[in-house]
């Protein structure tokens, strides 16, 4: 378990730009050393803000887009192309503007796909896709993600793991169906904490006043069932990327100012 490291930026725009620059470097380094990179995207305003900043970044095409595997931490279980789907929003923010290898863009199933209303079967199919991509060093469950990004909800949820609900309690499966999510839509697919913790690095994105309480709770030693963000950590790095507003309830001793 890696102890959370915090970086606080002046505002949400700078946080998105700095996080995008950080992601470019991480991907370029992974591709230089291992020939490819594997990144897990998140939905939400902060996640999409990072993708939009990446699309506009001058160094964007230092990334070899054809050697990048993209996965999702969660997805709203809606029809293909629905504007509320995380993959739809990611395509609009970045993916449609870069030459990705379509075979390496691993979107989660849609509700009008082969599984229909059976979100559990859809989750199992995504778990099987992850297992297929896992190398021998991964003990057969999920590939070693270079970076797994997570937006943080005001209730401290990450992905579609909401406080006290069954999905955050899952200790075996890597992907589960979610019903009755408090954040609409109610039916979702989500990676579980064991899958999240397989990542080399987990980056939690929290910008805006509405995340201040969640950041303070998650970073104050709260339990992962009550505060799922507290259970999201990487094998070698856990990085909280915040803006000043989201960091406003944190003890000042927790972080040096990254930008005045």
Ligand X SMILES: O=C(O)[C@H](O)[C@@H](O)[C@H](O)[C@H](O)COP(=O)(O)O
Least distance (Å) from ligand X to the CB of residue 256?
Answer: 24
Question: Of 20-28, 37-45, 61-69, 224-232, which segment contacts ligand X by CB under 6 A?
Answer: 37-45
**Does 243 help bind ligand X (rule: CB under 6 A)?**
no
**Does 231 help bind ligand X (rule: CB under 6 A)?**
no
Distance (Å, whole) CA 47 – CA 147: 13
Among 44, 109, 228, 234, binds ligand X (CB under 6 A): 44
Least distance (Å) from ligand X to the CB of residue 236?
Answer: 22
Question: Of 15-23, 41-49, 50-58, 60-68, which segment contacts ligand X by CB under 6 A?
Answer: 41-49
**Does 153 help bind ligand X (rule: CB under 6 A)?**
yes
Least distance (Å) from ligand X to the CB of residue 53?
Answer: 14
Which are the contacts of 32, defined by CB distance < 8 A and separation ≥ 6?
none
Least distance (Å) from ligand X to the CB of residue 149?
Answer: 9
Reduced to 3 states, what is the DSSP secondary structure of residue 47?
helix
Number of helices (H), then strands (E), in the chain: 7, 9
Angle at 224 between CA 218 and CA 226, to 5 degrees: 80
Which are the contacts of 122, defined by CB distance < 8 A and separation ≥ 6?
77, 108, 109, 111, 113, 115, 177, 189
Least distance (Å) from ligand X to the CB of residue 171?
Answer: 20
Among 6, 30, 38, 42, binds ligand X (CB under 6 A): 42
Least distance (Å) from ligand X to the CB of residue 153?
Answer: 4
Rule CB under 6 A: which of 158-177 touch ligand X?
A: 158-159
Question: Of 39-47, 133-141, 167-175, 239-247, which segment contacts ligand X by CB under 6 A?
Answer: 39-47
Distance (Å, whole) CA 32 – CA 147: 15
**Does 67 help bind ligand X (rule: CB under 6 A)?**
no
Which are the contacts of 235, defined by CB distance < 8 A and separation ≥ 6?
2, 197, 198, 199, 200
Which are the contacts of 118, defined by CB distance < 8 A and separation ≥ 6?
none
């Amino acid at each position: 378990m890696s102890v959370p490291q915090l970086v606080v930026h002046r505002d949400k725009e700078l946080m998105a730009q700095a996080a995008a620059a950080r992601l470019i470097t991480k991907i370029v380094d992974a591709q230089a050393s291992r020939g490819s990179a594997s990144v897990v995207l998140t939905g939400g305003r902060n996640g999409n803000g990072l993708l939009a900043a990446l699309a506009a970044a001058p160094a964007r095409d230092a990334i070899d887009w054809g050697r990048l595997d993209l996965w999702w931490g969660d997805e709203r279980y809606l029809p293909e192309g629905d504007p509320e789907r995380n993959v739809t929003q990611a395509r609009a923010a970045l993916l449609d503007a870069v030459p990705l290898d379509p075979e390496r863009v691993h979107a989660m199933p849609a509700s009008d796909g082969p599984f229909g209303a059976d979100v559990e079967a859809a989750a199992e199919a995504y778990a099987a896709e992850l297992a297929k991509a896992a190398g021998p060093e991964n003990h057969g469950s999920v590939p070693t993600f270079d970076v797994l990004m997570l937006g943080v909800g005001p209730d401290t949820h990450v992905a579609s793991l909401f406080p006290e609900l069954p999905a955050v309690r899952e200790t075996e499966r890597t992907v589960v169906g979610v019903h009755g999510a408090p954040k609409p839509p109610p039916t979702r697919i989500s990676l579980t904490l064991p899958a999240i913790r397989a990542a080399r690095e987990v980056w939690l994105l929290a910008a805006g006043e509405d995340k201040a309480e969640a950041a303070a709770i998650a970073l104050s030693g709260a339990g992962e069932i009550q505060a799922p963000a507290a259970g999201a950590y990487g094998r070698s790095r856990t990085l909280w990327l915040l803006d000043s507003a989201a960091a406003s309830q944190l003890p000042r001793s927790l972080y040096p100012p990254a930008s005045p």
